[in-house]
Amino acid sequence: MERLTHREAPPANLLISGARLFDGDSGLEGVQLDVRVVDGTIAEIGSDLEADGVETVDAAGLTMTPGLIDPHVHLRTPGDEDEEDIASGTRAAAAGGFVAILAMPNTDPVVDSAAVLGGLIERAGEQAAVPTGFFAAISRGLEGRELVDMAELAARGAAGFSDDGRPVERAGMLRRALQYSRVTGLKLTLHEEDMTLTAGSQMHEGAVSAELGLHGYPGIGESVMVGRDLQIARYEHAPLHLCHISAAESVAEIRRAKKLGVDVTAEVSPHHLCLTDELVRDLDPAVSKMNPPLRSAADRAALIEALADGTLDCIATDHAPHRTHEKEVPFEAAPNGVIGLETAFAAVYTELVAPGLVSLSTVIERMSAGPARAFDLPVPALRTGAPADLALWDLSESWVVAPPYASRSRNCAFAGRTLQGRCTITIAAGTVAHRLAEVAR
Amino acid sequence: MDLYPPTGLPRRRHLLSISDLDRADVERLLETAEGFESVMQRDVKKVPTLRGRTVVNLFFESSTRTSSSFELAAKRLSADTISVKASGSSVDKGESLKDTILTLSAYDPDVIVIRHPQAGAPAIVTRHTDAHVVNAGDGKHQHPTQSLLDLYTIRKAVGKVEGLQVAIVGDVLHSRVARSNIQALTMLGAHVTLVGPPTLIPREAAAMGVTISHSIDDLAEVDVIYVLRMQRERMLEGANYVPSLREYSALWGVTPDRVRPSQLVMHPGPINRGVEISAEVADSASSRIVDQVRAGLVTRMAVLYDLLTEPTTTGGQAALRAVEPAGQEVA
């Protein structure tokens, strides 16, 4: 069944000429071609295509990729629409080149009933600028005690199940949820944290936390839970997705489990790929406080290696909006989370692709086909006959990350940084979802 | 003193961390403090140096030593002082730190001294005020004026800091004093050893340029024994850092049999007699605990003076020049 919803909009009719096309699945590695979109579908890919009366976008010097998919977004709806709502969050997604997102259920109320989920899907049908799916909680109220009515939520259109924001603390509870996921056919996606190892923590435990006097969250606070849950998934032969992997120890667990044949996929955030705990020295929680925390340079190197070799399947933003005033407080008093939809690709391009650490094709795969396969969503493709789910980039443009943002919140990890690569056009589900003002010439 | 530029405001000198200072700054401050020592020996202990200046003391956490010494330091320099405590203020009514600072800044204070239970609070203050900001202790992070008074005390007692062996003993994990002192002592050329249970020494603390020891026997080799308070109020419930205070005292308590007469014993206070330090040691001839409190006054006078006047390379002499004529005027 269709698990993504968006608002109706007129289908795109465009000729995009002269962009360099990248799409590993279609065997495109930067060849310069024209792409004709007719009624929201890629009708033709070739050289020297005629405009035939439709608008032509001169994309010489630009790069076209399949649209990106973000499987980990907090839309703060219902309950905290002043931080983000479906309209603003999906506009931010479109501005970042995303053509589909999945939203987490730790809202107020929690998405743990068909009624709440149904309301969200209805609102997405009116407001979502890009196709949006909604995870339902694994446990009622995210309390880790009783399972939600998983089959009913699946039937109502849930994209999967997650208690993100907190771990499923009881191993027995997770086992039941994994067993029951055979009934729904939907994946569980887990926030991995052993709360007894992370109580009171403010940042990664290491040399910087020792110096700053902030209570540390060690890498093993994540990896012991990753190890536990991979064992349960292996025993139950159940598929599993792991959220925002941040520690080298977790990467080792996942690599081992994949060799053993465990059906696991895992994601990593742009901020964990690009930044380290050194950033916390500025004590500005709006940019450097999140859970899991920014980790050491060695962890970062392990994440980059794992992204390159496929141990980590997806890049996911964990876009987590917060009110400005909630982040204008002492570091220890601030809530966790940073926004990242509008900066995700540019940050990874600037810090990983431009310096030659990971290829552009790999990054595109991990941000598009990778998450699509992990959650059984249609894979965006630059292929004749495919729906137009694509993004156009100016990879030569440098820009300073600063408000105004499309997001309602401003707690961006990359605020003030100069990033390279900017999304100029996003076509999502066949409609133009984002167009940078300068390209609208 | 290094410049700590807040965004959107004119560059101001602040003292948020020992890492804001270089060695020349520390030397200048200690010499200035020395200059104020003579003022403290007069009948009239007040000089008009900071007349017309306003110092706000903003304490969000209980304090005896630090708050009284900052207040008296400002008064001895003839500054106007306002002391605001978290309890009994608008903070009780839910006012945010930002709004408290905006409110107090409306009085155009020259210096805001802040103590706060959370690391990074002084950094927030710099973003919302034109005043110079002095960190009087933030969470487990930094307490730079404590380090200055400790350096001052050691120099008075030994004549130098360079080359000394200093042991910092006890609950390093929860101690902002330890973090400031590690930076300050190593900057001035002392060698620091952290001594305590593995549960109370931060992982990777060695990256700060110190030696780690879990044996109290290692006190034997040092010149200065710096004892930290067991900060029970900062410990998470049920965290089990030590099995019991009794066992802690037995293994790491600074008792007479573990101290030689030639060693200095220091403690930032308040002390838990019988826990981290025995009464005999605290009251012994080796103890410099009361000297530390006295040093707090002149070093804090030096910090206020330094922030509100242009720093000079001649250090203490310049401070004296500014102080002497004015002092006579008052006398």
Which of the 8 DSSP states describes residue A368? T
Residue B312 clears pLDDT 50, i.e. is over it? no
Alpha helices in A340-429 (DSSP H): 344-348, 360-367, 369-374
Which pLDDT score, from 0 to 100, does residue A441 have? 37
% of chain B residues with pLDDT over 90: 76
Is residue A214 less than 8 Å (CB to CB) from chain B? yes
Which residue is closest to A201 within chain B, CA to CA? B236
The CATH homologous superfamily to which domain B144-291 belongs is Aspartate/ornithine carbamoyltransferase (3.40.50.1370)
Local structure of residue B235 (DSSP, 8 states):
S
pLDDT tens digit sequence for B270-288: 999 999 999 999 999 999 9
| pLDDT bucket at B233, cuts 50 / 70 / 90 | confident
> Can you give the pLDDT at residue A75?
98
| Residue A164 · residue A72 · CB < 8 Å | yes
> How many contiguous H segments (helices) and E segments (strands) does chain B have?
10, 9
Give yes or no for a contact between B81 and B300, defined as CB atoms under 8 angstroms apart.
Answer: no
A184 Cβ under 8 Å from any chain B Cβ: no
Nearest-CA neighbor of A176 among A222, A225, A253, A233? Answer: A233
DSSP-derived secondary structure for B293-311? HHHHHHHHHHHHHHHHS--
CB atoms B120 and A211 under 8 Å: no
pLDDT at B12: 66
Task: Out of A318, A376, A389, A394, pick the active-site residue.
Answer: A318
pLDDT higher than threshold 80 for residue A67: yes
Cα gap A292→A79, rounded to integer Å: 24
From residue A440, give the alpha-carbon distance in Å to each of A19, A48, B86.
16, 21, 55
Task: Give chain A's mean pLDDT.
Answer: 96
Q: Is the pLDDT of residue A439 over 90?
A: no
- All residues of chain B having their beta carbon less than 8 Å from the beta carbon of residue A214 are 119, 139-141
What is B18-142+293-314's CATH number?
A: 3.40.50.1370
CB of A136 within 8 Å of any CB in chain B? Answer: no
A332 touches chain B (CB under 8 A): yes
Q: Using CA atoms of B98, B100, B104, B106 in order, give the dihedral in degrees to the nearest 10.
A: 60
The three-state secondary structure class of B312 is coil
Q: Which of A200, A210, A330 lies at the smallest CB-CB distance from B121?
A: A330
Nearest CA in chain A to B137: A213
Q: Across the interface, which of A213, A214, A330 has its CB nearest the CB of B97?
A: A330
H helices of A200-260, in order, are: 207-212, 220-236, 248-259
Confidence band for B311, pLDDT divided at 50, 70 and 90: low
Residues in chain A closer than 8 A to B179 (CB atoms): 211-213
Alpha-carbon gap: B236 to the closest alpha carbon of chain A (Å): 7
Q: Which two tokens stand for residue A10?
A: 């007129």
Region A352-361: mean pLDDT is: 98
Select from A207, A213, A331 the Cβ nearest to the Cβ of B204: A207
Question: Does A210 touch chain B if contact means CB atoms closer than 8 Å?
Answer: yes
The confidence score (pLDDT) of residue A104 equals 98
Show residues of chain A in contact with B124, CB under 8 Å: 328-330
Q: Which amino acid is at B7?
A: T
β partners of residue B330: none
Q: Please compute the mean of the pLDDT values over residues A356-363 and round it to a whole number.
A: 97
Give the whole-angstrom CA distance, residue A163 versus residue A152: 17
pLDDT tens-digit readout, B159-182? 999 999 999 999 999 999 999 999
**Residues of chain B contacting residue A282, judged by C-beta atoms under 8 Å apart:** 123
State pLDDT tens for residues A393-403: 999 999 999 99
If pLDDT is split at 50, 70 and 90, which confidence band does B63 have?
A: confident
Mean pLDDT of A252-275: 98
Whole-complex ipTM: 0.87
How many beta-carbon pairs below 8 A join chains A and B? 77
Q: CA–CA separation, B314 vs B253, rounded Å?
A: 43
Across the range A12-19, mean pLDDT stands at: 97
Separation between Cα atoms, residue A107 and residue A45, nearest integer Å: 42
Instruction: Please report, in angstroms and rounded to a whole number, the separation of the first and last CA atoms in chain A.
Output: 39
Q: How far is CA B22 from CA B2, B16, B46, B140, B184, in A?
A: 7, 13, 29, 22, 9
A326 interfacial to chain B (CB closer than 8 Å) = no
Tokens at A241, concatenated: 């997705």
CA A47 – CA A32 distance, rounded (Å): 8
- Look at A329 and B207 and tell me if their CB atoms are within 8 Å: no
- List strand residue ranges (DSSP E) for chain B, in order: 54-59, 80-85, 111-116, 132-138, 165-169, 191-195, 211-213, 224-227, 264-266
Name beta bridge partners: A390: A66, A427
- Closest in B118, B204, B205 to A333, CB measured: B118
| Higher-confidence position of B328 and A205 | A205
Structure confidence at residue B310 as a pLDDT band (50, 70, 90): low
Structural domains of chain A sorted by starting position, each given as residue range(s) with its CATH number in brackets: 14-64+386-409+418-439 (2.30.40.10), 67-374 (3.20.20.140)
Predicted confidence band of residue A438 (pLDDT cuts 50, 70, 90): low
Q: How far is B102 from chain A (nearest CA, A)?
A: 13
Q: What is the mean pLDDT of residues B150-159?
A: 97
Task: Please list the active-site residues of B.
Answer: 65-66, 93, 115, 143
Whole-angstrom Cα distance, residue A235 to residue A238? 8
Q: What pLDDT digit, counting tens, does each position of B134-145 carry?
A: 999 999 999 999
Best probe of the A interface among B133, B204, B231, by most A CBs < 10 A, is B204
Amino acid B238: pLDDT: 73
Whether pTM exceeds 0.90: yes
Residue ranges matching CATH 3.40.50.1370 in chain B: 18-142+293-314, 144-291
* pLDDT score, position B92: 65
pLDDT at B313 over 60: no
